[in-house]
Structure 1
Amino acid sequence: MSQGNHHEAIARSASQRRADELRRVPEALRPLLQSIPERPRLLLITILSDPVIDTPVPFERRRGMALGMIYMAGKRDELTPPEVSTLVGYVLDLPA
């Protein structure tokens, strides 16, 4: 496999992973995430996408990271107060 094809394969794999993660976020929440800049949005989607994934990061830490990212997006006026409340409610309702 040439280096160009290898990079294309990695990019396709990453794109597919992001699409899969977004599908695991409840559809009603997806539009709320669109106002957040790309990098923090992708990180938040990863955290929100599957609360029970097998990861070395404990669930409570991931929950805390998600809440912090949501509150910071609100402080930067990327999310309105109702959007922050909706996302926070979702995160707090996730089963540990």
Structure 2
Amino acid sequence: MSLKNPNESIALAAAQRRADELQRVPEVLRPLLQSIPERARMLLITTLSDLVLDTPAPFEQRRGMAMGMIYGAGKRDELTPQEVGTLVAYVLDLPA
């Protein structure tokens, strides 16, 4: 990374962070997320990724946020009921 262009460095770091977060979401679930608009999809990917990390936020709080995002996407018809069920099952199966 070049320090000549701080904006480029920031953009590259952000892109790497998003790529790392996506890698923590099981590959089989990634296609389900494609129907969600980009901003909401990125937030959900971040939240799902955080569920498998040790972060300062309590696990149940992170789980609740993920569930709310998933159900919200279902209410907006961005996910089918089956896709909602698959994502919810994944979140519920994660150890606290």
Smaller-chain TM-score bracket: over 0.9
3-state secondary structure, aligned to 1:54: coil
Identical positions, percent: 77
Contact 1:52 1:59 in 2 (8 A): no
Runs of 4 or more, structure 1, over 6 Å off, are: none
Q: Which has the higher helix share?
A: 1
Which ranges in structure 2 are unaligned for 5 or more consecutive residues? none
- 1:26 corresponds to which letter in structure 2? P
- RMSD value, Cα: 1.1
Q: Find the aligned partners of 1:94 and 1:44 in 2 and give their Cα distance.
A: 16
Which residue number corresponds to residue 20 of structure 2?
20
TM-score by length of 1: 0.92
User: What 5-or-longer segments of structure 1 have no aligned partner?
Assistant: none
For the pair 1:83 / 2:63, whether they are aligned, the reply is no
Alpha-carbon deviation of 1:39? 1.1
User: Partner residue of 1:68?
Assistant: 68
Q: What residue identity is the alignment partner of 1:29?
A: L
Name the TM-score, length of structure 2 as normaliser.
0.92
